[in-house]
Amino acid sequence: MPDDSTTPPLLALSNRLADLVAGVAPSVVAVHGRGRTAASGFVWRPGHVVTADEALEADGDLAVSLPDGRRVEATLLGRDPTTDVAVLKVDDAETPALALDGAADPRPGHLALAVGRREAETAAHFGIVQFAGGPWRSRRGGQIDRLIRLDLRLDPRSEGGVTLDAGGRAIGMAVYGPRRTVLTIPSATIERVADQLARGRRIARGYAGLGLQPVWLDETTARSLDLPEGRGLIVVDVDPNGPGQRAGVLQGDIVAKWDGEPVRGMRELSARLGPESVGRTVAITVVRAGQPKALDLTVAERPAP
């Protein structure tokens, strides 16, 4: 092969990208767990595969296609919908584990690759880092160490695959975000969550014990509570053994404020019920028979399904 001084720049870049993909391909697998269309995953530790939680429709009847063409049964060790991380156990000690890099610092404009697998074939997707920010909370309340959004077109079969930077470092897992944007669950989040799941530990979620639906408050009530958007959540069901019942919440109450902040919708409230909320006592304001009422609710851990 000609050296870099004689190779056209675009060909040199093309060869470099292909080499990066080839470097991680031996650790990238296909995950069968959502009907006819497989997703992707990667060997995180020997005999352990990390994939996207959304790639799994059920907890059973799972299999993994390895890079060498073998198809092996898989067992779900744990899944966390809040961070979109799932860990599978496979009877395989030969497929090399992928080294995740938690020190990489992707910035907007950096080149990025998403690498997945279609059965025995490697699939690569090329783009750039569209946005990179600090820690954020998912719509389901999961704590994600960094917000990394990619500008690339991701095949559904590559969801759960690995994201690489231009240095070939594995910076996380490629997944779909809201409105089919492409996000990367960063390496630090994967290491933290996958380690707990692999050891059989559940990722705690806050639980208020309330069935809620969005509702609009009348203008007078909204103004009296200083609610700029006039939204709330009406209580349609109360768990008789849950935190809401112990706090004195009644069916028909409208939750207007949570921990002093306006409640704008279900997603926002769900995001506030992350792992760190368990055990906390929060001040909530409900509207009952047209009048505001202050209550203290101690968040519990969501029961296992």
Q: Decide which of 168, 203, 238 is a domain's last residue.
A: 203
pTM above 0.85, yes or no: no
Q: Which two tokens stand for residue 150?
A: 């990619």
CA–CA dist 222, 255 (Å, integer): 12
Read off the pLDDT of each residue in 296-300 and give the average, rounded to a whole number. Answer: 96
pLDDT at position 36: 76
Q: Which two tokens stand for residue 10?
A: 């675009």
Q: Decide which of 203, 228, 247 is a domain's last residue.
A: 203
Strand, helix or coil at 276?
Answer: helix
pLDDT band of 178, cuts 50, 70, 90: confident
Same domain, 236 and 107: no
> Which residue type occupies 191?
E
Q: Could you tell me how far CA 300 lies from the centroid of its own chain?
A: 22
Same domain, 135 and 224: no
CATH code of the domain containing 48: 2.40.10.120
> Which residue type occupies 252?
G
Q: Of 213, 220, 222, 290, nearest to 257 (Cα)? A: 222
Angle at 260 between CA 135 and CA 222, to 5 degrees: 120
pLDDT of 173 above 80: yes
CATH code of the domain containing 210: 2.30.42.10
**Neighbouring C-alpha atoms within 13 Å toward the C-beta of 109:** 0
Same domain, 83 and 198: yes
Same domain, 67 and 120: yes
Same domain, 193 and 212: no
Q: What pLDDT digit, counting tens, does each position of 245-274 carry?
A: 999 999 999 999 999 999 888 878 888 888
Q: Which residue has the higher pLDDT, 287 or 102?
A: 287
Q: Which two tokens stand for residue 93?
A: 């000690």
Angle at 193 between CA 187 and CA 195, to 5 degrees: 95
Helical H segments across the chain, by residue range:
9-24, 187-198, 219-224, 243-247, 266-272
pLDDT at position 204: 79
Same domain, 264 and 288: yes
Domain boundaries, position 76 = 1-203
Q: Picking from 13-17, 43-47, 168-172, 201-205, which range would have the lowest pLDDT averaged per residue? A: 201-205
pLDDT at position 5: 65
Same domain, 154 and 214: no
pLDDT band of 6, cuts 50, 70, 90: confident
Q: Which residue has the higher pLDDT, 109 or 55?
A: 109
pLDDT band of 229, cuts 50, 70, 90: confident
Q: Which residue has the higher pLDDT, 155 or 200?
A: 155
Same domain, 144 and 249: no
Same domain, 173 and 240: no
Q: Decide which of 203, 223, 239 is a domain's last residue.
A: 203
- The DSSP 8-state label assigned to residue 205 in this structure reads -
pLDDT at position 305: 64
pLDDT band of 1, cuts 50, 70, 90: very low
pLDDT at position 272: 85
Q: What pLDDT digit, counting tens, does each position of 99-148 carry?
A: 999 888 999 999 999 999 998 899 999 999 999 999 998 887 788 999 99
CA–CA dist 256, 226 (Å, integer): 10
Same domain, 26 and 161: yes
Contact call for residues 72 and 90 (beta carbons, < 8 A)? yes
pLDDT at position 156: 94
Same domain, 247 and 127: no
pLDDT at position 112: 97
Same domain, 120 and 171: yes
By DSSP bridging, strand 85-90 and strand 136-137 are: unpaired
pLDDT at position 3: 56
Q: What are phi and psi of 164, to 5 degrees?
A: -115, 150
| Mean pLDDT (the chain, rounded) | 92
Q: What are phi and psi of 269, to 5 degrees?
A: -70, -40
Sign of the dihedral defined by the CA atoms of residues 92, 88, 58, 136, in that order: negative
- The DSSP 8-state label assigned to residue 223 in this structure reads H
Contact call for residues 37 and 46 (beta carbons, < 8 A)? no
CA–CA dist 132, 305 (Å, integer): 34
Q: How many domains does the chain have?
A: 2
